[in-house]
A and B are shown apart, each in its own frame.
Chain A
Amino acid sequence: MSEHNVDVLVIGGGPGGYTAAIRASQLGLSVGLAERAELGGVCLNWGCIPTKSLLHTADVMREAMAASELGLEISKPRFNLKKVVKRSRDVAAQLSGGVSHLMRKNKITVFAGNAMFQDKNTVVVGDDTILADNIIVATGARARNLPHIQADGDRVWDARSAMTPTFMPKKLLIIGAGAIGVEFASFYNTLGAKVTLVEVMDQILPAEDSEIADLAKQSFIKQGMEVLTGTGVDEVKVAGKSLTALIGGKNRKFDAAILSVGVSGNIEDLGLEAIGVEVDRGFISVDEYQQTSVDGVYAIGDVAGVPCLAHKASHEGIIAVEGIVGEMPHPLNKERIPGCTYSHPQIASIGLSEVQAGERGEIKVGRFPLLANGKAVAVNDTEGLVKTIFDASTGALLGAHMIGPGVTEMIQGFAVAIGLETTEAELMDTIFPHPTLSEAMHESVLSAFGRTINF
């Protein structure tokens, strides 16, 4: 049993927690970090990163399958599932090791184990008792189950099982068409599974602009998926090597199902109630500086509420730490958080959807299809649209929504624009390099004001 004194203790070593810890160290604070599993959290180990490895495999395979269109003769590519999964795990392991290194470099003491509050300044992790002036809860979230459908890791998979498959299902049911469900749908569909994507809401990717979501749906259907919106899965029965799902009154057979119906905050077994931290619908309530209802206790990232995105978590980590040292940070503006889905086609967005923006006032909407973009034609990938939404009176960029190749890398251009509060005038005045897919961003802005050149 050893006792430690630190200025800041971070509970959870995901992208929010480890970023907060590093920032605190940079600001001269002594920092401890408690992690019960792997450094890097879900993002690095069981989320963002390993799925990008899987999806990259799928992207290369898709391109190889279309190689003849480019004048290449390649025999039909085949995958080795074991190797595909192994690469994904290796990538995660490599990056998790990188976080370890960062902790050492920044002189952050890592405590391995489950953390439990004794009081608002004392946390016990295994044999260690840590006294901290400030504690940042960054415990993240985990995949939700449904009351009537639970992941079993055998035939009904959560995200973790879905990224470590031991066999390729011939027929795969995906329940929930948020970003996670859609990415798995895209991966498995490309590798040959017959995918049925079911979403209870009226559109897939419910967080996205409906026009973009509709384009994605059309594309998925064209690629061979079955997409059912406004549809729930009423029952899943596993029998041996298959399962039966009751969908829209019909029993359907699948080899496996992925449950991707959102996440819930990891608020349990921390002793939060004992010290009086308020929670609301499964997430810790915080103010704009990430302060919880208990003085000196902060919460960041998934556990502090939606949207559950790594980049939101790390940003909140910085806000919390800078608030602790009294550097007046700027509260997070949730309307300026970009979101990306790495399916094929990719989807990326920031700000308000057309419907949301329209509810606030008069808007101008620009659209530019990739079909009219020279680079898209050259690289044989013209499926896509760049949509921009402006406040008609002020010219403020309220939202940008993109679907198509490369858009997850391009959205940052609009994120910078929104962050700097540019109006249409500056965007129009910016020179976009030719030939690039990003020219479609420029054209979309021009289009909102009736000035598009190439369409």
Chain B
Amino acid sequence: MPREIYLVKVGMSMTEGMVSEWFVEDGGQVKKGDLVYALETEKVNLDVDADYSGTVKHLVEVGVTLEPGDLVGYIFESGEDIPDTLAGAPASAPTETKPEPEPTAPEPVSAPVAASAPIVSGDGHIKSSPAARRLARELGVDYTRVAGSGPGGRIVEADVQAASQSDAAVPAASAEIATGPEPKASPLAKRLASERGIDIRSVKGTGPGGRIVQSDIENAAVAGVSAGAAVVSGPRAGERVPVKGMRKTIASRMHQSLQESAQLTMDMEVNMDDAVKMRNSLVEEWANEGIKPTYTDIVIKAVGKALLAHPMMNSQFLGAEIALMTEVNVGMAVALPEGLVVPVVRNVDQLSIKELAQETSRLAIAAREGALGLDDYAGGTFTVTALGMYGVDSFTPIINQPQTGIMGVNRIFDGVEWDGDKPVKTKKMNLSLTWDHRAVDGAPAAEYLVEVRNLLQSPYRLLV
């Protein structure tokens, strides 16, 4: 008897999913414990092992939306007759015999998808040095937003360094992987497109025979920067983008959050002179260890520390009662091409800035590589979201339900402090706090925001 391969259920809320990749080709051999297919749901990607050894036969193609428990293939033991055509495609599988596999992982406590940053689709590009790109990766700076000062506007290390200091930078978006046949393109064009995260299928070739050449990629990159990614990857005008997967989840959660809670936002200006100094010295201090704290890290630390003193901000409004959380777990919004994810930094109050920087860097890399585990999403009690790298000075983040607050991190800019009658150039940043008025009134929310501001203005308190 052939053994069935099912679409496994990951978490109780999983309603649909798909095989995003077969690791064993149709008719190929698999050993028990080896990976057989990749599951993709609206929340997670998971690689699934084979429970038996034998010959794999596919019943479904990659990318077909299925329900958990649907049959996706069989494993035939050696010596078994393998029929040429297999009955039992998922649609015709008798429902009464359909098993309900056990969840293979716990339901995430917090939604993996949330918050209010715009979804970054494909990035425009300017020339950049490899060292600059490496540094951007390390600092979590979206280097495609950095102005280049090198020859020909090339982005060099110093530019990335400067950008990371002037912006509250969050991790960069990675390239979107599109489908469809690969068009004719020069090897250099292919390499540039891949390096710059440009979907080569969206680029019009102007070389002989419509071949895509270097200049086409460069033009696409420039057009992407100036015209908002019209030429680079991502939807084009006139297209209809199906709302599914991550997009669907974001849509329903954001809408639900606004419908169900009483949220409002206030902004407060923060003097960042000392925070900038401190960060610069920490960057230098830990350079040898390859640890580079971002401004977002410092804000996360301040937000977390202030939550200890303002437990109502670290709560969940449950209707009849308000549950105060015991842990301070801060979610950080990471923009990916396919949408926003919010991995969680756990026990922020107990982490040093160094540990926090290492953890946010790990989460950001895992997010980009699609390697976040369910644990990485779980247990958030508050959220930090940054748009400063786009030059944003104020916005109204949407609360990641059922949390009570979300802190928006804005651009660091050259502002003014008054020394008597003399204006003094000072590094400034706005914080945009959205909170749930059902749980917390304006005055205590403002007190919390003042606490965060004070911590950022005396940032050395965050080191103790």
Chain A contacts to B: CB under 8 angstroms:
330, 359-362, 392-396, 420-423, 425-426
Cα of A360 to Cα of B152 in the assembled complex, Å:
7
Which of chain A's residues have a CB closer than 8 A to the CB of B130? 362, 392-393
With both chains docked as a complex, state the minimum distance between the C-beta of B218 and any C-beta of chain A, in angstroms. Answer: 10
- Known contacts A362-B129, A421-B214: does B191 contact A395 (CB below 8 Å)? yes
With both chains docked as a complex, state the minimum distance between the C-beta of A336 and any C-beta of chain B, in angstroms. Answer: 11
Cα of A425 to Cα of B190 in the assembled complex, Å:
12
**Contact A420–B186 (Cβ < 8 Å):** yes
Contact residues, B167-225 vs A (CB, 8 A): 186-189, 191-192, 195, 206-208, 213-214
Residue in B151, B154, B189, B191 whose Cβ sees the most chain A Cβ within 10 Å: B191
- Known contacts A361-B150, A361-B154, A393-B128: does B188 contact A423 (CB below 8 Å)? yes
With both chains docked as a complex, state the minimum distance between the C-beta of B184 and any C-beta of chain A, in angstroms. Answer: 11
Which of chain A's residues have a CB closer than 8 A to the CB of B150? 361
- Known contacts A330-B207, A362-B129: does B186 contact A421 (CB below 8 Å)? yes
With both chains docked as a complex, state the minimum distance between the C-beta of B57 and any C-beta of chain A, in angstroms. Answer: 37
Can you list 8 A-B contacts with CB-CB less than 8 angstroms, sorted by A residue number? A360-B151, A360-B152, A361-B154, A362-B129, A392-B129, A421-B188, A422-B188, A425-B191
With both chains docked as a complex, state the minimum distance between the C-beta of B152 and any C-beta of chain A, in angstroms. Answer: 6
Secondary structure class of chain A's binding surface, majority of residues: loop
- Known contacts A330-B207, A362-B129: does B188 contact A396 (CB below 8 Å)? yes
Which of chain A's residues have a CB closer than 8 A to the CB of B129? 361-362, 392-393
Select one of B128, B151, B187, B207 contacting A426, CB under 8 A. B187
**Contact B191–A394 (Cβ < 8 Å):** yes
**Contact B151–A394 (Cβ < 8 Å):** no
Cα of A362 to Cα of B127 in the assembled complex, Å:
11
Which of chain A's residues have a CB closer than 8 A to the CB of B208? 330
**Contact B192–A422 (Cβ < 8 Å):** no
Cα of A393 to Cα of B143 in the assembled complex, Å:
15
**Contact A422–B186 (Cβ < 8 Å):** yes
**8 interchain residue pairs of minimum CB distance:** A421-B186, A421-B188, A396-B188, A423-B187, A393-B130, A422-B187, A426-B187, A423-B188
- Known contacts A361-B152, A421-B187, A422-B186: does B214 contact A396 (CB below 8 Å)? yes
With both chains docked as a complex, state the minimum distance between the C-beta of B221 and any C-beta of chain A, in angstroms. Answer: 12
Cα of A392 to Cα of B130 in the assembled complex, Å:
8
With both chains docked as a complex, state the minimum distance between the C-beta of B192 and any C-beta of chain A, in angstroms. Answer: 6
Cα of A422 to Cα of B128 in the assembled complex, Å:
20
Residue in B129, B154, B188, B191 whose Cβ sees the most chain A Cβ within 10 Å: B188
With both chains docked as a complex, state the minimum distance between the C-beta of B149 and any C-beta of chain A, in angstroms. Answer: 12
Which of chain A's residues have a CB closer than 8 A to the CB of B207? 330
- Known contacts A361-B127, A421-B213: does B195 contact A394 (CB below 8 Å)? yes
**Contact A425–B187 (Cβ < 8 Å):** yes
Which of chain B's residues have a CB closer than 8 A to the CB of A394? 188, 191-192, 195
Which of chain B's residues have a CB closer than 8 A to the CB of A420? 186-187
A393-B128, A396-B188 given; 4 more Cβ-contact pairs under 8 Å: A360-B151, A421-B186, A422-B186, A426-B187
With both chains docked as a complex, state the minimum distance between the C-beta of B359 and any C-beta of chain A, in angstroms. Answer: 31
Which of chain B's residues have a CB closer than 8 A to the CB of A392? 129-130
Which of chain B's residues have a CB closer than 8 A to the CB of A360? 151-152
With both chains docked as a complex, state the minimum distance between the C-beta of B180 and any C-beta of chain A, in angstroms. Answer: 22
Cα of A360 to Cα of B151 in the assembled complex, Å:
5
Which of chain B's residues have a CB closer than 8 A to the CB of A422? 186-188
Which of chain A's residues have a CB closer than 8 A to the CB of B127? 361, 393
Which of chain B's residues have a CB closer than 8 A to the CB of A330? 206-208
Which of chain B's residues have a CB closer than 8 A to the CB of A421? 186-189, 213-214
Cα of A420 to Cα of B130 in the assembled complex, Å:
23
Which of chain B's residues have a CB closer than 8 A to the CB of A393? 127-130, 195
Which of chain A's residues have a CB closer than 8 A to the CB of B214? 396, 421
With both chains docked as a complex, state the minimum distance between the C-beta of B159 and any C-beta of chain A, in angstroms. Answer: 13
With both chains docked as a complex, state the minimum distance between the C-beta of A355 and any C-beta of chain B, in angstroms. Answer: 13
With both chains docked as a complex, state the minimum distance between the C-beta of B283 and any C-beta of chain A, in angstroms. Answer: 24
Cα of A394 to Cα of B218 in the assembled complex, Å:
12
- Known contacts A393-B128, A393-B129: does B191 contact A423 (CB below 8 Å)? yes
- Known contacts A330-B208, A361-B129: does B188 contact A395 (CB below 8 Å)? yes
With both chains docked as a complex, state the minimum distance between the C-beta of B179 and any C-beta of chain A, in angstroms. Answer: 24
With both chains docked as a complex, state the minimum distance between the C-beta of B212 and any C-beta of chain A, in angstroms. Answer: 9
With both chains docked as a complex, state the minimum distance between the C-beta of A427 and any C-beta of chain B, in angstroms. Answer: 10
Cα of A330 to Cα of B215 in the assembled complex, Å:
12
Which of chain B's residues have a CB closer than 8 A to the CB of A425? 187, 191
Closest to A418 in B: B188
Residue in B129, B154, B187 whose Cβ sees the most chain A Cβ within 10 Å: B187
Which of chain A's residues have a CB closer than 8 A to the CB of B186? 420-422
With both chains docked as a complex, state the minimum distance between the C-beta of A351 and any C-beta of chain B, in angstroms. Answer: 13
Cα of A394 to Cα of B215 in the assembled complex, Å:
13
Closest to B152 in A: A360
Cα of A420 to Cα of B207 in the assembled complex, Å:
9
With both chains docked as a complex, state the minimum distance between the C-beta of B110 and any C-beta of chain A, in angstroms. Answer: 40
Which of chain B's residues have a CB closer than 8 A to the CB of A423? 187-188, 191
Cα of A423 to Cα of B189 in the assembled complex, Å:
9
With both chains docked as a complex, state the minimum distance between the C-beta of A415 and any C-beta of chain B, in angstroms. Answer: 14
With both chains docked as a complex, state the minimum distance between the C-beta of A451 and any C-beta of chain B, in angstroms. Answer: 18
Which of chain A's residues have a CB closer than 8 A to the CB of B213? 421
Cα of A420 to Cα of B127 in the assembled complex, Å:
21
With both chains docked as a complex, state the minimum distance between the C-beta of A426 and any C-beta of chain B, in angstroms. Answer: 5
With both chains docked as a complex, state the minimum distance between the C-beta of A279 and any C-beta of chain B, in angstroms. Answer: 29
Contact residues, B88-143 vs A (CB, 8 A): 127-130
With both chains docked as a complex, state the minimum distance between the C-beta of A330 and any C-beta of chain B, in angstroms. Answer: 7
Which of chain A's residues have a CB closer than 8 A to the CB of B154? 361
With both chains docked as a complex, state the minimum distance between the C-beta of B395 and any C-beta of chain A, in angstroms. Answer: 35
Closest to B127 in A: A361
Closest to B131 in A: A362
Which of chain A's residues have a CB closer than 8 A to the CB of B188? 394-396, 421-423
Cα of A106 to Cα of B87 in the assembled complex, Å:
68
Q: B48-88, CB under 8 A of A: which get 1 and which 0?
A: 00000000000000000000000000000000000000000
Cα of A421 to Cα of B150 in the assembled complex, Å:
24
- Known contacts A330-B207, A421-B214: does B187 contact A359 (CB below 8 Å)? no
Which of chain B's residues have a CB closer than 8 A to the CB of A396? 188, 214
Residue in A396, A421, A422 whose Cβ sees the most chain B Cβ within 10 Å: A421
Cα of A394 to Cα of B195 in the assembled complex, Å:
9
- Known contacts A330-B208, A394-B192, A421-B213: does B187 contact A361 (CB below 8 Å)? no
Closest to B186 in A: A421
Cα of A210 to Cα of B186 in the assembled complex, Å:
30
Closest to A359 in B: B151
With both chains docked as a complex, state the minimum distance between the C-beta of A191 and any C-beta of chain B, in angstroms. Answer: 45
With both chains docked as a complex, state the minimum distance between the C-beta of B216 and any C-beta of chain A, in angstroms. Answer: 10
Which of chain A's residues have a CB closer than 8 A to the CB of B189? 421
With both chains docked as a complex, state the minimum distance between the C-beta of A397 and any C-beta of chain B, in angstroms. Answer: 9
Contact residues, B2-53 vs A (CB, 8 A): none
Cα of A393 to Cα of B208 in the assembled complex, Å:
25
With both chains docked as a complex, state the minimum distance between the C-beta of B210 and any C-beta of chain A, in angstroms. Answer: 11
Which of chain A's residues have a CB closer than 8 A to the CB of B206? 330
With both chains docked as a complex, state the minimum distance between the C-beta of A399 and any C-beta of chain B, in angstroms. Answer: 14
Cα of A425 to Cα of B187 in the assembled complex, Å:
9
Select one of B151, B191, B192, B195 contacting A361, CB under 8 A. B151
Cα of A426 to Cα of B188 in the assembled complex, Å:
10
Cα of A361 to Cα of B191 in the assembled complex, Å:
18
Closest to A328 in B: B206
Cα of A396 to Cα of B189 in the assembled complex, Å:
10
Which of chain B's residues have a CB closer than 8 A to the CB of A426? 187
With both chains docked as a complex, state the minimum distance between the C-beta of A419 and any C-beta of chain B, in angstroms. Answer: 9
With both chains docked as a complex, state the minimum distance between the C-beta of A209 and any C-beta of chain B, in angstroms. Answer: 19
Which of chain B's residues have a CB closer than 8 A to the CB of A361? 127, 129, 150-152, 154
With both chains docked as a complex, state the minimum distance between the C-beta of A414 and any C-beta of chain B, in angstroms. Answer: 14
Which of chain A's residues have a CB closer than 8 A to the CB of B151? 359-361
Which of chain A's residues have a CB closer than 8 A to the CB of B128? 393
With both chains docked as a complex, state the minimum distance between the C-beta of B205 and any C-beta of chain A, in angstroms. Answer: 11
Cα of A394 to Cα of B127 in the assembled complex, Å:
10
Cα of A421 to Cα of B206 in the assembled complex, Å:
13
Cα of A360 to Cα of B127 in the assembled complex, Å:
11
